[in-house]
Amino acid sequence: MTKFVRAFDDSGLVPAYARQPVEFVRGLGSALWDVDGIEYLDLQTGLAVNSVGHCHPRVVEAIRHQAAQLIHVGNLFHTGPGPLLARRLAESSLGGRVHFANSGTEANEAAIKMARKAKQGGDVISVHRGFHGRTYGSLSATPQEAKQAPFAPLVPGFFAVAPTAEALTAAIDERTAAVILEPIQGESGVYELDADVLRAAREACDRVGAALIFDEVQVGLGRTGTLWAYEHSGVVPDLMTVAKALGGGLPIGAVITNERFAAGFEAGDHGSTFAGGPVPCAAGLAVLDVVSDPTMLTRVRDRGAQLREQLAELPGVVEVRGRGFMLAVELDPSRAEPATALVGRALSEERLVLNATGPTTLRILPALTITDAELDEGIARLARLLDPK
């Protein structure tokens, strides 16, 4: 890391992030290089953003081409890439329309607003372990005390229950405007909600006219081996939020609606200066081209299952959770070394980029384009770190 960057981080930036002591300057596929030219293997992908790998040539070319023509004019005018991307997102999923945002939390804010407008108010139900973002509405739907407490009071009308069919059925009533769920809860440690939980939420929402929102910000766009995670259960939401991987590294989020919510906003109801700009939408079109490939999705399912088995055999691993290329490794809690320290050692000793979601949990988020050889190398490096010898 250059002295300038470290000094600027220490004196120029609000200390909102616990950064690792490395300055990355280049990426290609599943490889990263630091300022000293040292190569790293990335199994974290910018928290699932770089799902098609770093600097995928189709994404780079789409960005370069669009940026040379038009970067921004705002949402008071028509541009080409946004409507094209919206159509492809809707046709690949819920069949309605799309509202663009700049991030996952903004997409969740918009979805919550759509649901409350449709019901003319009402409560929002989420489940324990969920994470939906850090802006006030999304944070209010995120029942994690450490994240909520410093910023109280939160938005009223948000309630969290256990992630069970019984708890959701009991909680959803005529006062409910929306239920928001992650099909696989990523930030809390990759916990997949059972299909019966999703079905119970669907049935209860239908009974009272509430909106079922699936937060696929992290889990969507091929990460589990289907384009959308809801396809595994067959439970279809009314609204779905996406972000992270959609821009290939550029900031973009979206709410995808079904036909019922296709006119969820009228002019002036909601807005954003930058959302749906031509450059990130051009990147999104290129990303969709890559992640929609059936051969790639099949490989993510099959290789992800093999990866689970390989991870489960490593020393000190007591459980592996998740689907496809969205996995969590649960370490033996008797280990003296916390997962956060292991992540630091992985970076410095093995040049392996990982992420910890808790004291005993590693999250594995490889690029969907990663090679078998790179995955095997990642397993070998992790095995050396976990070996008590």
In this structure, the answer to whether residues 50 and 28 fall within a common structural domain is: yes
Q: Are residues 188 and 329 in the same domain?
A: no
Burial 140-158 (b: 16+ CB within 10 A, else e): bbbbeeeebeeeeeeeebb
Model confidence at 384, in pLDDT bands (50, 70, 90)?
very high
Q: Is there a single domain that holds both residue 170 and residue 208?
A: yes
pLDDT category of residue 119 using cuts at 50, 70 and 90: very high
The contacts of residue 157 (CB under 8 Å, 6+ apart) are 121, 122, 123, 124
Residue 154 and residue 71 in one domain: yes
Indicate the residue type of 44: Q
- In this structure, are 187 and 215 located in the same domain? yes
pTM, entire model = 0.96
Which among 195, 143, 119, 205 is positioned nearest to 169, based on CA atoms?
A: 205
Give the tens place of pLDDT for each residue, 150-179. Answer: 999 999 999 999 999 999 999 999 999 999
Q: What's the pLDDT at 228? A: 98
Backbone phi and psi for residue 331, each to the nearest 5 degrees, phi listed first: -95, 155
pLDDT tier at 4 (50, 70, 90 boundaries)? low
Region label for 29, one of left (φ > 0), alpha (ψ between -120 and 50) or beta (otherwise): left
CATH number at residue 215: 3.40.640.10
Q: Can you tell me the mean pLDDT for 230-245?
A: 98
Give the gyration radius of the chain's Cα atoms. Answer: 21
Query: Do 108 and 212 belong to one domain?
Result: yes
Over residues 265-298, the pLDDT tens digits come to 999 999 999 999 999 999 999 999 999 999 999 9
Same domain, 252 and 301: no
- Domain's final residue, options 267, 291, 315: 291
Across the range 321-329, mean pLDDT stands at 98
Question: What domain range is 180 assigned to?
Answer: 57-291
Per-residue pLDDT, averaged over 3-29, amounts to 82
Q: What pLDDT is attached to residue 323?
A: 98
Q: C-alpha angle with apex 254: 173 to 44, nearest 5 degrees? A: 105
Lowest mean pLDDT among 4-8, 256-260, 281-285: 4-8
Domain C-terminal end among 259, 291, 323: 291
Nearest CA among 164, 173, 166, 171 for reference residue 128: 164
- Shared domain for 369 and 332, answered yes or no, is yes
Q: Domains in the chain: how many in total?
A: 2
